[in-house]
Amino acid sequence: MNNGCAQCHSVQTQDIEATISSEQMRGPDLSQIGSEHDADWIVAYVKREQAVDGEQHRVPYAGNDDDLRAVADWLVQPQ
Ligand code: HEC
């Protein structure tokens, strides 16, 4: 996964391991995200347009929309 997401997120089904050492910054494994949310939701959440229980994504997204869309589409593929 590019765009720095894999610093904080594992995708265990793809043998991607989060590299960040801080447990506090580390996000959940995203292997199953497609069963809970669609790509539109992921884009909105990471861009902080969509909150969950009043919580926004930990870090603001600094990349471009096309890249984020590509990552979101990839994440919701059955893996
Ligand atoms: C600096 C660490 C960090 C980076 C970089 C990061 N995230 Fe996250 N992410 C988190 C944390 C921590 C959470 C847990 C919720 C929270 O506290 O924000 C999270 C939550 C999520 C969730 C919700 C998971 C769920 O099960 O509800 C998604 C989806 C997500 N991130 C996608 C991404 C994508 C896509 C990228 C790259 C564009 C990315 N994240 C980059 C730390 C990060």
Cα→Cα distances 51→13, 18, 38, 55, 70, Å? 26, 23, 15, 5, 21
User: Which residue has a Cα nearest atom 13 of ligand 1?
Assistant: 27
Q: Which atom of ligand 1 is nearest to the CA of 36?
A: 26
With a 6 Å cutoff on the Cβ, whether 51 touches ligand 1 is no
- Domain containing residue 54: CATH number: 1.10.760
pTM of the model as a whole: 0.92
Q: How far apart are CA 64 and CA 46, in angstroms?
A: 12
* Structure token pair of residue 13: 């089904």
Number of domains the chain contains: 1
Q: How far apart are CA 60 and CA 73, in angstroms?
A: 19
Containing domain of residue 9, as a range?
5-76
For 7-27, write each residue's pLDDT tens digit.
999 999 999 999 999 998 999
Q: Ligand 1: distance of its center to the CA of 28 in Å? A: 7
User: Which residue has a Cα nearest atom 9 of ligand 1?
Assistant: 27
Predicted local distance difference test score (pLDDT) of residue 52: 85
Predicted local distance difference test score (pLDDT) of residue 4: 86
Mean pLDDT, consecutive 10-residue stretches, the chain (79 aa), reads 83 94 93 96 94 89 92 90
